[in-house]
């Protein structure tokens, strides 16, 4: 007798690499483009919404200033005020 063993290797390749698309949650409004362009270079915009409860205009000025001076965010004077206005309006505490 001759036994033949047939191996059926059914290999289910389930390598669906889920693209980790970081969703952008920022509210629509004047200045959003600038914020998206400048403030998502190093971290997700979630940093902004997570901090929104705490900051008034002075607070956001301080944060953006820190991002520019300490972290090195490439923001010019015009963009600086656009960003602060946007953040104060949409993510500021009155
Ligand atoms: C050059 C890189 C870089 C850019 C550009 C940048 N950030 Fe940040 N940001 C950081 C780093 C690094 C931290 C974490 C700092 C820490 O933990 O102290 C941070 C933290 C934050 C936080 C958390 C609170 C805090 O003060 O640490 C907020 C809010 C924030 N960034 C907002 C912004 C905004 C708004 C912009 C656009 C003007 C911006 N970031 C652009 C690097 C950057």
pLDDT tens sequence across 25-70:
799 999 999 999 999 999 999 999 888 878 999 999 999 999 999 9
Q: Which of 1-5, 55-59, 77-81, 89-93 comes out lowest in average pLDDT?
A: 1-5
State yes or no: pLDDT of 23 exceeds 70: no
Instruction: Give residues (CB < 6 A) around ligand 1.
Output: 38-39, 41-43, 47-48, 51, 63-64, 66-67, 71-73, 75, 83
Cα(17) to centroid(ligand 1), Å: 29
Which residue's entry shows tokens 């389930």?
A: 14
Structure-token pair, residue 10: 């059914």
For residue 15, the model assigns a pLDDT of 39
Quick check: 71 and 39 in contact, CB under 8 A?
no
Q: Which atom of ligand 1 is least distant from the CA of 41?
A: 5
> In angstroms, rounded to a whole number, what is the distance separating the alpha carbons of residues 54 and 93?
7
Cα(18) to centroid(ligand 1), Å: 27
Quick check: 52 and 91 in contact, CB under 8 A?
yes
Average confidence (pLDDT) over 1-27: 52
């Amino acid at each position: 007798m001759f036994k033949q063993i047939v191996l059926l290797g059914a290999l289910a390749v389930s390598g669906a690499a889920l693209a980790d698309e970081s969703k952008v949650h920022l509210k629509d409004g004047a200045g959003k483009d600038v914020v998206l362009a400048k403030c998502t270079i190093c971290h997700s915009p979630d940093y902004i919404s997570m901090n929104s409860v705490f900051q008034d205009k002075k607070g956001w000025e301080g944060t953006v200033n820190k991002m520019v001076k300490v972290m090195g965010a490439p923001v010019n004077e015009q963009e600086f005020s656009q960003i602060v206005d946007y953040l104060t309006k949409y993510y500021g505490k009155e």
